[in-house]
Structure 1
Amino acid sequence: MRRPTQIKNSSEDLNVWQAFTDLMSNAFLIMSLFLLLAIVKSSLLTSNSKEKDQKIKGLELTVGSLKNEIERLKAPPVIVIKDSDRDAQGRSLKFETGKADLPEGLRIFIEGNVVEKLEEFSKVYQGYVVDVIGHTDGQETFNPASNLDQILEQVAQGNQPVKNLKPGSNADLGLMRSLAVVKKLQAIQEQGRLKGLKFRAYSAAQLFLPSGQYASQNRASDETRRRIEIRFTPPGVEQY
């Protein structure tokens, strides 16, 4: 009777070991699955973190570019040349009364300082137009024989010199002087500098003070009001 009993016990022992190995195998598979999930999750988190970093960096660059563009549009550069100014050698930059001929000091100042500034600004304000604005003080111009209506276009096209123009008002005189500066800049451009820039001449007559405010009626001589302003402005939409 012992032999069958031993066989029975051996069979029970064998069944317990098989159950144990099955349990361990299942546990190993479960642990492997959790480990795989952890690896995938970690990979996803790392990927998301990188993507977030890239998005944040991209956003920072975008915000920075927008700030720079806002500042650029809000405060375009202005070069102001006053009659009261002098160059480094002490030469006067002053126009003669009622005339638009460039004095030697102003001519040299334009060839050096102004051209250098324009080239510097043009790297940032690409495609902008350079406006040259002539201002005067409130002194009256006593010359009824203005000829701007007759030959202004010819002077602008270079067929006649600026000195042939005769002003009949401060508006005429401001335009003549701004045009003289434009013609000088265009001549320098023909020599290979100031490439790609477009120039336009305007007159503000005696309307504005250096502060930008409208001027009151004042016929006194004032060198600070007699000035040339050079501005970079966005190009307008051209109509065809």
Structure 2
Amino acid sequence: MIKMSQAITSAVLVTTGLCFAGLSGGAALADSGSSVMTVEGSRPQITVVGEGSVSTTPDIMRLDTGVEVRRPTPGEAFTAARAAAADLTQALLAAGVAPKDLRTDELTLAPEYKDYPTISGYRATQGVEAVVRDLDKADDVVDAAAAAGEAVRFDGVTFEVSDNRVPLRLARDIAFRDAKSRATQYARLAGRGLGRVMEITEQNVTPPTPFVGFAAAVDRSSISPGRKNVSVSVRVVYELE
């Protein structure tokens, strides 16, 4: 479900020989952004920055997991890590993760020291990233990985939005309406009417930022994707009448 929220912004209006400071609201309604009105010969213009934000629910989970083993020799450690990683991979496949959604993202082998330079053994790791595209299976995938052996390690999860085009379009709509609303208000305060759009520039686009970690959820699930905001800022230049 997509929930739209209108950004609240401030403005500074500048005209030839006249300056109006933007009005500020309460702490909970702090504004951001700016507006500038200029008179250039016979074509007065006003430049505004509108902001829009849309809340959306992630639909993909990236599980960052892997294996870690310690053995007396490098060969033993490396072999054991590869075997444990194979078991983990098979467990993830059995839980419904597609082969194309599994990726090795780490492979290390290093000595460990008791009293340097005396080596006490060797530590080997192999990381496995699993992309879970059906969040209803997220708990099953995590449980399957945890049951794959004592060498398994978890480094957390990241939730993402697979396609942010729809929320971005909605955020742009909100940002443009915000810009037009503020331009109309300040043109009126300056005693002018709002004319045609002269220029549109998309300034800042904030895609859904990944949400990392495990969280409590409803429906007896231990993992929740939460919600993320998609934000857009747009700079619009209007001609004034």
Higher fraction of helix: 1
TM-score over 0.5 for the pair: no
So what's the TM-score if we normalise by structure 2?
0.26
| Bigger proportion of residues as strand | 2
Q: What's the TM-score once normalised by structure 1's chain length?
A: 0.26
